[in-house]
């Protein structure tokens, strides 16, 4: 049985610039992402001191009222020397990533996703007791990292253009 993961994160910056950054190329705001050959991105997701490399696919944006959405999914990437227990604790994730702008102009990132706990019925039971907390930490850290990237990109968009040094009078 799949588990729901919903988490939210306020984002600093101009709402218009943040919304424009969100619909831009995800490579500009995904945390330390490198493109892969299949059109996705490879990056690390974190939960506490644990980090795991995943392949992320981000869909095209769509809008519903005051929220812009993009589908997002990730799948753990395994290497030959990557046989840690975190492999078994981080399942694939599928969901939607959104940026909501409220009436006062504040922006909030939203992750509304689903994952299937690994390990069958036993894994589902462990997820209820402990691993769902790890999933929430991972989702929250992902939003914090995405929010930082969006804020950085939005501030670059809002920065005034400088043609050169100001003339001396």
pLDDT of residue 86: 47
Q: 37-65: per-residue pLDDT in tens? A: 988 999 998 877 778 899 999 999 999 99
- Rounded Cα–Cα distance for residues 90 and 72 (Å): 16
What is the sign, positive or negative, of the torsion defined by CA atoms of 14, 16, 17, 20? positive
Instruction: Identify the domain containing residue 86 by its residue range.
Output: 3-157
Give domain status of residue 164, yes or no: no
Total domains in the chain come to: 1
What SS3 class is residue 76?
strand
Q: At 58, list the tokens.
A: 């981000």
pLDDT tens sequence across 91-131: 889 999 999 999 898 999 999 999 877 666 665 655 555 66
Q: Where are the alpha helices (DSSP H) in 24-131?
A: 86-89, 120-126
CB distance 84 to 129 below 8 Å: no
Tell whether 168 is covered by a domain: no
Asked if the structure places residue 166 within a domain, the reply is no
| 166 pLDDT more than 50 | no
Return the pLDDT at 121: 64
Other C-beta atoms closer than 10 Å to the C-beta of 54 total 21
């Amino acid at each position: 049985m799949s588990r729901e993961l919903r988490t939210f994160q306020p984002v600093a910056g101009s709402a218009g610039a943040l919304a424009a950054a969100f619909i831009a190329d995800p490579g500009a705001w995904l945390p330390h992402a490198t493109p892969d050959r299949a059109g996705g991105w490879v990056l690390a997701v974190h939960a506490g001191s644990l980090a795991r490399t995943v392949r992320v696919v981000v869909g095209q944006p769509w809008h519903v009222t005051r929220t812009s959405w993009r589908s997002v999914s990730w799948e753990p990437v395994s290497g030959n020397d990557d046989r840690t227990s975190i492999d078994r604790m981080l399942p694939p994730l599928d969901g939607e990533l959104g940026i909501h702008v409220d009436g006062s102009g504040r922006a909030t990132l939203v992750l509304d996703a689903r994952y299937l706990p690994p390990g069958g019925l036993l894994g589902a039971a462990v997820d209820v007791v402990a691993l769902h907390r790890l999933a929430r930490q991972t989702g929250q850290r992902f939003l914090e990292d995405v929010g930082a990237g969006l804020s950085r990109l939005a501030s670059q968009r809002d920065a005034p253009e400088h043609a050169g040094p100001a003339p001396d009078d």
